[in-house]
Chain A
Amino acid sequence: MKSRNLHRAATLALVAIAATGSSAAAQIRVVATTPDLASVAREIGGDKVSVVALAKPTEDPHYVDAKPSHIVTLNRADALIEGGAELELGWLPPLLENSRNSKISAGAPGRIVASDGVKMLEVPTSFDRSKGDVHSLGNPHFMIDPVTVKIVARNIANHLAQVDPKNAATYNGNLSRFNAKLDAKYADWQKQLAPYRGAKIVTYHKDFVYFAERFGLNIVDELEPKPGIAPSPAHLAQVIGKMKAGNAKVILVQPFQNRKTAETVARQTGATVLDTPEQPGAASNTNTYFDMMDNLVHTLAGGLGAQK
């Protein structure tokens, strides 16, 4: 009797494992380097894909640890979405080297470079590290520009259609729906920020350049004197001077940036420090790209409105 029960339990377990396996096998396994790319991939892939992000929502995408567990994740991936423009240069190459997965090798249909086709800003005309850690292919922080994200979404849909041709129509349909929702949201975000066109803001790093250009904000300066260089007292004194002269009253920071430095400058200038994470999941109730952008626009509009 006992052996029959054992046999039955083992059979059930095998069936369960097989069912799980077939369900997982039916989905395209997408790995995104950052949560924002992962969120867009979920919108485009729908239930045809499973998506994981390597970087944590609160993690600086420039400084992700190349942990061995990421090698396993990449080894099993059908597609990889990277921001490109050297955003992940400090950690993705050794992971890819060890992942042994030709599906996501450079140029393969499963390798999706989000920045493909994006009009990059701040592309340097010469390479000189005395200017800081400047990305040679341009500023990689384009994901908070909703118009540019349409290009990213199209890149993802095109590649998913190549990786999984039988569901190409689904991906194209999801792309259309995503774009329609983005258009509606973009109109709303523009409306919220319209009263603040030309408003002066300060950021910690050069990570709001695309956003500011899209919504007509004026970045007075960054707390970093040069990209990747820690703020120095002399530079902060200059920033304080510029903020006072230009009446800039808002400083934007990410979860992984030094808020205390921003608060010091804020005390000197009467400005407000706003937490404006650029990754879904970094703030509560911001699990999707749309939630994250809603939060960002709402926080910024609120902060700028309070200063009026």
Chain B
Amino acid sequence: MRGCLILCALGIALPTFANAQVPKPKSKQDSVARADSIARADSIALVKQLEKELGAQGADTGGTAAAATQGPRATGGYMNIGFVALTDAGLSTEPNVGAIQVGDHDPHVNGFSIPNVELTLDGAVDPYFKGFSNIVYKLDKDGQTGVELEEAYVLTTSLPASLQLKVGQFFAEFGRQNNQHPHAWSFVDEPLVLNRMFGPDGLRSQGLRLSWLLPTSFYAEALVTVANATGGTASSFRSPDSPEIHGGVINDRLVDRPSDLLLVPRFNTSFDLTETQTVVLGTSAAFGPNNSGPSARTEVYGVDGYWKWKPAAAQAGFPFLSLQSEAMWRSYDAAQRIAEANPAVTLPAETLKDRGMYAQLLWGIKPRIVAGLRGEFASGDPGAFLSEVRRDRTRWSPNFTWYPTEFSKIRMQYNYDNRKGIGTDHSLWFQFEFLLGAHAAHKF
């Protein structure tokens, strides 16, 4: 339709231009001028009619769209580019560090690890969409480079009724930390309960997410994600690593009905308790099929909270005090299945119940210096298969972070880590991060 407008505009402009350039014989000039005038009036009427019709359809008539494509003023160009690199170093009393640091972006070895280097790209696609991409490079314990497309999605900017759609590959909005990238974490490693419910990379998949900002006087947002339930980043669902949970041979399933997809609803709300204190509360769930049997399903539920105090005259955001906590429960219906370790053994149908939580307190003591303490546990009821990833575990992690600027940080963290039936390990980790290019502002 915009093309019609351009043609109409050209229809108006070209005769005018032609008139200005080509002198006409005097005898014909009046009649030509009259004809031009009629043609111009017709064209203007047509443009007005089109504008009216387009306006009635809620379409953009050009002005705002053209202006909106000016894009962000901040760093110029059409795309913001950022590069964040994390280097970990340290020692643990557990020689097989991978057995206790189970997150994909945790330190993996005694010595040095580079578990997360992110290339972030974002910008306005056009007046209607924003695009985001996060490509992760990492070195494994043998120093081999791995690359993964962590996120790539578009976000709508102008849906009516305060709706917003996200489409692509992205972290599911479940709880507070699942959709945060490692450089935004306040601790060196992934919380145990997130690892237990969503695996070493968190819950992310390909799909779409619809969000509605409710018309309330306070912040209230309802979100629902529909995504594929397959792959290594859908750990409690149809992941190739699921035998670690249920111990059986994988039952491959195709997607032949909507319930074969992953459904992640979430409700999030926030209140400013005082001028200096804010609380955010959320509740989430994830429903989807698992691969222990042809109709086996998993349900994960979670509640989360965040409270922050910051004085009205804080210096560079300091001092502050914040408390963040998440609790999760999983009900994993494992079908009757053949044991992966021994095909002669059949494991019975059962419901595997797991739970866990973490709470982390951060104290921004003075500008650029933060002390933190995290306490966490994860636990699973016994099942027919003795799973290492369902073992009861408790961890305490005091840490200390110095941010020389917003673009670098140095962190030290101690982990007191108790695995039931195995014993207690002690780890000391250091982390260094640097950031180049655009620094995406962090969400609250």
Contact = CB atoms under 8 A, between A and B. Distances in A.
Interface in B107-160: 124, 127, 130, 155, 157-159
Interface stretch (B27-35, B65-73, B333-341): B65-73
Interface string A208-241: 0000000000000000000011100000000000
B213 A75 contact: yes
Interface string B211-232: 0010011110100000000000
Interface string B252-288: 0000000000000000111110010010100000000
A202 interface: no
A86 interface: yes
B261 to A, nearest CB: 25
Given A105-B157, A106-B71, A93 B441 contact: yes
Interface stretch (A41-49, A95-103, A188-196, A300-308): A95-103
A69 B314 contact: no
Given A90-B406, A229-B405, A66 B441 contact: yes
Contact of B64 (A108, A133, A228, A258): A108
B407 A129 contact: yes
A184 to B, nearest CB: 32
A66 to B, nearest CB: 5
A255 B317 CA distance: 13
A92 B443 CA distance: 10
Interface in A113-167: 113, 129, 133, 136-137
A100 B313 contact: no
B368 A230 contact: yes
Contacts of A228: 316, 405-406
Output the residue of A58, A90, A100, A228 with the most chain B CB within 10 A.
Answer: A100
A58 B312 contact: yes
A60 B308 contact: no
A107 interface: yes
B405 A65 contact: no
A63 to B, nearest CB: 4
A63 B317 contact: yes
Chain B interface size band reads 35 or more
B314 A106 contact: no
B444 interface: yes
Given A106-B124, A107-B70, A255-B313, A67 B270 contact: yes
A69 B315 contact: no
Contacts of B272: 67, 69
A interface majority secondary structure? loop
Given A56-B275, A65-B278, A98-B213, A256 B157 contact: no
B316 A60 contact: yes
A109 B64 CA distance: 8
B224 to A, nearest CB: 16
Nearest to B72: A106
A107 B216 CA distance: 27
B375 interface: no
A212 to B, nearest CB: 23
Interface of A: 56, 58-60, 62-63, 65-69, 71-72, 75, 84, 86, 89-94, 97-100, 102, 105-109, 113, 129, 133, 136-137, 228-230, 255-258
Given A93-B74, A105-B127, A256-B313, 9 more contacts: A59-B312, A60-B317, A65-B310, A67-B444, A69-B271, A94-B442, A98-B164, A105-B157, A133-B406
18 contacts: A60-B315, A60-B316, A67-B272, A67-B278, A69-B270, A69-B272, A72-B217, A89-B74, A91-B441, A94-B440, A100-B163, A100-B164, A102-B158, A106-B71, A107-B64, A107-B70, A129-B405, A256-B316
Sort A-B residue pairs by CB-CB distance and give the 8 closest, nearest first: A107-B67, A68-B219, A68-B270, A58-B313, A63-B317, A102-B158, A255-B313, A107-B68
